[in-house]
Amino acid sequence: MGQVFSSRRPPLPPQKIEAAGSSSDTLPEDIPWSTSSALDGLLTLTKAKGHYWYPNDGSRILDACGGAGVACIGHGRKEIIKAATNQMKECSYVSYAHFKTNAVQELSDWLIESTGGAMQKVYLMSSGSEAVEAALKLSREYHTWRGEPQRVNFISRSESYHGTTLGSLSASGHHTRRAPFSPLLSPTNFHKIPPCNPYRQPSSSPSEFLAARIAELESEFQRLGPDTVAAVLVEPIVGAALGCVPPVPHYLSALRSVCHRHGALLIFDEVMCGMSRAGTLHAWQSYNAVPDLQTIAKGFAGGYCPASALLVGSKIASLMTAEGKTFTHGHTYQNHPVVAAVALRVQKVIQEEGLLRNVQVQGRLLERLLTERLGGHRHVGDIRGKGLFWGVEFVKDRETKEPFEVEKQVAMRVFRCAMKSHGVLVYAGQGCAGEGKGDHIMVMPAYDVTSREVGKMVERIAAAVEEVLGR
Ligand SMILES: Cc1ncc(COP(=O)(O)O)c(C=O)c1O
């Protein structure tokens, strides 16, 4: 998916951000970009090395977001190239229906162990959307095995992004990404509750805030009929749709209690926030809440190949084993041996080099520097995140939290200015204030980022924010 979530449009002419009222808020010439897979209009990338991108206009761009939160150990690592080549020599492809391979077995064993056995089965796929789609379908099929075919409803949140396929997009709340397809997205089976976003949901106390969020879920169960709900799907830390918003304490475990009381499953979509991005290998490990199903992708193979997985919790897996049930689902490239070899090697590099610890240490530095440099800016409403997963939300007015007008494309302008004038790549998004409004950028450096690079990123990002929005 591209950086900002509207349909393709011609490049904006250089213009002023009226609300900023600064003397230097004229944008430099636009950088072309595309939200589709069409290639026209984009710069050609001739090289990516370490933490830098090298497009064909001669620039060298510091990567502060791993593309879409993917390139987590930098580019061009020889050990990963070797793992891919060795696997290709041994077996470059096999249908998951015909044989298993050592590569997939080793990766599955490693993943299951990484969850302390909470997850018991692994389906290896290519994209996050595929993993989410599979999670929705397996939830449904699980209930049919248990003799509860009436469980046809899914509950997710209004500001969320779970993927681009019709099922995963039906579960997503992201206004702009849904808009062109809304007649095709099932309103019958997919239902939304509000997000968990303390910045935009006023409350008199943390306990009142938590109680309100849980009451919203409970009332949705009651509205639908508790025994019709198959699963609740949430991102533990909301990525593209909200800009790195972590849950409040006890929120995820309270969701789990409500789901289980009503016989529904809990799915955590960790496509963006998982695989060490937020300072623990699995995001749920920070929150004492184990899901029934979990999706992973992005940092899983660090971008060295397309890799995602559905992890199946012990409750579902043990029923499958005990009753010999198989999931009616499969892709041509499922359990791809090269994907498995590469993903496992990426995870081993993260382990061998102690990069999870680096995520925690550099994450604290990133938080401190972003707060020092941008926390007082009159158009920065909120800075939030965890590990190396940080979002900066822009507002027109800090007091009222009023967002900028959508057409001003503020996050997009910061992104362009950062890339063109300050040589740093960030991930821009819109919709964090609800109904497509609200601008944010996401900062998601590689796990092997150095303190010096973190400092450089924040300086360059802050300079871009000031150039676009004034001081
Ligand atoms: C939380 C989440 N789920 C699912 C997806 C879809 O993944 P993909 O783009 O690999 O299909 C994304 C993509 O950004 C995501 O952030």
Same domain for 67 and 97, yes or no, is no
Q: Does the residue 143 lie in any domain?
A: yes
Residue 425: which CATH number? 3.90.1150.10
**Ligand 1: centre distance to CA 15 (Å):** 32
Q: Which residues contact 151 (CB under 8 A, 6 or more apart)?
A: 140, 143, 227, 228, 229, 230, 263, 264
Contact 265, 148 (CB under 8 A): no
Same domain for 53 and 131, yes or no, is no
* Confidence band, pLDDT 50/70/90 cuts, at residue 20: very low
**pLDDT 10s digits, 23-75:** 334 444 454 455 555 566 789 999 999 999 999 999 999 999 999 999 999 99
Residue ending a domain, among 320, 352, 384, is 352
**pLDDT 10s digits, 414-436:** 999 999 999 999 999 999 999 99
SS3 338: helix
**Ligand 1: centre distance to CA 161 (Å):** 7
Q: In whole angstroms, give the CA distance from residue 347 to residue 302.
A: 9
163 lines ligand 1 (CB under 6 A): yes
Q: Which residues contact 19 (CB under 8 A, 6 or more apart)?
A: 379, 396, 404, 408
Q: Does the residue 186 lie in any domain?
A: yes
Residue 129: which CATH number? 3.40.640.10
Same domain for 394 and 459, yes or no, is yes
239 lines ligand 1 (CB under 6 A): yes
Burial of 165 (0-12, 13-18, 19+ CB in 10 A): middle
Same domain for 337 and 376, yes or no, is no
Same domain for 287 and 161, yes or no, is yes
Same domain for 209 and 322, yes or no, is yes
Same domain for 321 and 432, yes or no, is no
253 lines ligand 1 (CB under 6 A): no
129 lines ligand 1 (CB under 6 A): yes
128 lines ligand 1 (CB under 6 A): yes
Ligand 1: atom nearest CA of 168 is 4
Same domain for 421 and 365, yes or no, is yes
274 lines ligand 1 (CB under 6 A): no
Same domain for 328 and 359, yes or no, is no
Q: What is the pLDDT of residue 37?
A: 52
Q: In whole angstroms, give the CA distance from residue 222 to residue 234.
A: 19
Same domain for 53 and 90, yes or no, is no
Name the residue of 130, 272, 282 to mutate for ligand 1: max ligand atoms within 8 A of Cβ. 272
Parent domain of 152 = 78-352
**Ligand 1: centre distance to CA 308 (Å):** 10
Q: Does the residue 45 lie in any domain?
A: yes
162 lines ligand 1 (CB under 6 A): yes
Mean per-residue pLDDT of the chain: 92
Residue ending a domain, among 309, 336, 352, is 352
Same domain for 202 and 254, yes or no, is yes
Q: In whole angstroms, give the CA distance from residue 194 to residue 191.
A: 10
DSSP state of 126: S
Name the residue of 1, 5, 65 to mutate for ligand 1: max ligand atoms within 8 A of Cβ. 1
Domain tally, the chain: 2
**pLDDT 10s digits, 203-243:** 999 999 999 999 999 999 999 999 999 999 999 999 999 99
